[in-house]
Amino acid sequence: MRWERGDRSNIEDVRGGGGGGLRVGGLGLGGFVLLLVLSWLSGTNLFSLLGTTPSGSGSTGTTGAVGSTPAEERMVDFVDAVTNDAQDTWSQILGGRYRRTRVVLFRDAVQSACGLAQSATGPFYCPGDAKVYLDLGFFQELDERFGAPGDFAQAYVVAHELGHHVQNLLGLNQRAAADRRPGAGSASVALELQADCFAGVWGHAASRGGQLQAGHVQLEAGDAEEALRAAAAIGDDRLQRMATGRVMPDRFTHGTSAQRVEWFRRGMESGDPRSCNPGSATN
């Protein structure tokens, strides 16, 4: 994957904003993630059984001193370039209906319009403030824990969250807001699969040739396979097997690995958001 550094205008950096650390009774990040998943799957607050709860003060957007490395700063530039390129693509597709947003980079915990979030919840989009939230440490988890390395795998994650921004702008998330049913056939799963498809739409645009400009990206041979591995790695069925050893479709939130791969590929091959029909996404 080729990319050129931009001006970071697509980034809101609050990594130094006092987000706080993960203080969960001595649990490491891996233990925290597992306990969080098991709490969600069982419907029981397992943190309370340990006599502790996740803590960490949120950041409200002020930026303090950032202790970083050259490698992490390069990753910031990468996220900025992917975000800029994807937003340019959606501006071309939607015209005046598209409104640009930013990716908020944080560490450990952050306060958004959707409430306090911990890094272990993964990247997310908040409709309340129309921003994407990302702890760069997730990319290491994507590689080491979920077995999905590569820069386009990382770009897919960003593009998926921006797909939720597109849904928000077009009012496509209203169905999920009205239909709170969980499970494989839910409106929530349909929207997640559509966001995968929207990520593929951007991937299709990024695969075209032409002169590479600042703040943009171009795909190379093998990049699409990285994104497909990432989509497969974070399917509900695979994550549930990793956490509990069994699959519970009634608790699906994002779709199976096969579905996520299918819907990303649909957008990647067509380049047409009209192929990402949320009504048929779970069929």
Question: Across residues 118-147, what is the average pLDDT?
Answer: 92
Question: What is 28-40 written as a DSSP string?
Answer: -HHHHHHHHHHHH
Q: Which residue has the tokens 């002169």?
A: 211
- The contacts of residue 48 (CB under 8 Å, 6+ apart) are none
Tokens matching residue 215: 């703040």
> What is residue 201's predicted lDDT score, i.e. its pLDDT?
97
DSSP annotation of 115: E
Question: Rounded to whole angstroms, how far apart are CA atoms 83 and 65?
Answer: 24
Q: Is the pLDDT of residue 62 over 60?
A: no
Q: Which residues pair with 35 in a beta bridge?
A: none
Q: Does the pLDDT at position 38 exceed 80?
A: no
Across all residues in the chain, what is the average pLDDT? 82
More confident residue, 172 or 131: 131
pLDDT in tens, 72-90: 999 999 999 999 999 999 9
For 222-237, write each residue's pLDDT tens digit: 888 888 888 888 888 8
257-273: per-residue pLDDT in tens? 899 999 999 999 999 99
Phi, psi of 131, rounded to the nearest 5 degrees: -130, 155
Q: What confidence tier does 193 reach under pLDDT thresholds 50, 70, 90? A: very high
What percent of the chain is modeled with pLDDT above 70?
A: 78
What is the model's pLDDT at position 64? 46
Tell me the pLDDT band of 177, cut-offs 50, 70 and 90: low
Is the confidence at residue 190, as pLDDT, over 60?
A: yes
**Of the given ranges (52-56, 75-79, 119-123), which has the lowest mean pLDDT?**
52-56
Distance CA 225, CA 110 (A): 32
pTM score, two decimals? 0.80
Distance CA 264, CA 198 (A): 7
Instruction: Indicate the DSSP class of residue 8.
Output: S
Q: What is the pLDDT of residue 73?
A: 97
Cα–Cα dist 27/122, whole Å: 18
pLDDT at residue 122 greater than cutoff 70: yes
Residue pair 51/25 in contact (Cβ under 8 Å)? The answer is yes
Look at residues 83, 69, 63, 78 and name the one whose alpha carbon lies nearest to residue 3.
78
d(CA 145, CA 156): 17
Contacts of 44 (CB under 8 A, 6+ apart): none
- How far is Cα 200 from Cα 194, in angstroms, rounded to an integer? 10
How much is the pLDDT for 33? 53
